[in-house]
Structure 1
């Protein structure tokens, strides 16, 4: 079978290196005990895939198939999912502990690992077939297209934990999602809206704010303005002129910016820091009893809860662009979109065209 990996090259300085993509041919996997082989129909990118190419992601290992997000059809006759369309939990080693991955869990001590491109989990979804523990598979919601299903796993899980488990967003609350446009931020928007919250966004693009409003946001402001927090404050409803929660993947000075318009005891959930590795937590935030909550990925239990919510509410991940086939040149254009911040939603690869298998999978 074919797989896409990072090409081994001479070591370089993290952030300056850029690993080329490479197509390899490797034996088609067979199912081990408790596993099923999934024929990958579609896969999608996350920001970690860009960080890997830049040498900025821990454990990056050239020659390991890339990507964590995948949708496909199980081809193992002995599997309970045989001929079913499934999506893959993008990680292993975290069953259900709400605090974080279990110590000594299925991955062993420190055994939590994410699919795709690392030495810690030596497989990925940017290949034609993958062998996965049946524990990490769930039947794909029937209303999703293959591309939408492939776009869901990592961004959906990350957003669900941030919105539901950490921020505990409730009906009637005001929620800010800075830097709208990426997959996680958009799923956080969809989840928060369906939980009854009023959602506000920031962006550097008026077009992205307008698209967010079309998805259910109340409104937004350009974070390129020096006093965007004051513009946001003017938009908040008069009967609830504060933010209850912030679900953030950008970092930077967001805490300092929003402290004055947060309610006492408000929650700031950080699931990433694309603007840099530090996010100052100020004394002003302490005096307002703000909670700063780190959130990364989620447990298998949260993954199943997220998929159930998506199916119940018939939510659809936002797709920015799709390319077909394992063609290196076309795949490069997806990484370019991500590096330049052009995407609004997920960047997806249609790995296989197999309508018959998909129809069987949806039975």
Structure 2
């Protein structure tokens, strides 16, 4: 990490976390953040549900909710970028404060509640996206919607022509009863509507499903079955957790979803369990607690074709992207893998 980035992070830590996040987005817009450009090698280049990625490290949804920093993020070294979540109508989200740093735990708690500018504004920005980058959108539902399942399809219909993939997000803990959509019947109906819209797009794109880390084995088996029946393109494991075991920060009792280091083991176990349940038939994206090349590698060996991160950037800055990608390249070379795909699922047993 450069001296400038170190000083910048220290300055941001003095601010309210949501204010600091807004300034980070502004820095990306102004082009004053690390911009190594595409990071790739023959070992790192891979495919995910038909998408050609320069490397398997992606940015998780939530960082750039409104797709306002696409150019800066496209130059930051990620293999792919996911923005959103977007809902049909703009909504302010939950009352502030709603984002908390848990520095002692390398974690964060948020209860944003799908705050975003709405699908029309976000679609307009996505239509002007930088060329060459792989960019996807997290689909959400309005809190006051009478038909939340239809909201996901509406967002995809409007934004699908402008993105490379879309994610159905039924796993945020911050919109009341949203996680109820992970049940078999509700999920089948929701995914059916989304996949109908996908089929009507001039360029059908991969559709992923993002799930919670707090599901038991029976629920995971049900989701794996539904995902296969709906023919979705992949599963993202996982979103934030409601668990608070072992936290030391004074903010540990705040309501919302916990992300960051404490989520790593829990989310990786869910990932490995899904890899076992699906038998490699459905691509998996591992997210939750990734802060090092070794952790990204562990997710891949547990069954992930690609990984995502977000919270680690709060503590490590964007320089972390290059550190993880180059470190992953070295780990693959060390273990004799010619490419990422060869390493996928080679060590699920550790986590089962």
**TM-score over 0.5 for the alignment?**
no
Which has a greater percent of strand?
1
TM-score, structure 1 normalization: 0.28
TM-score, structure 2 normalization: 0.29
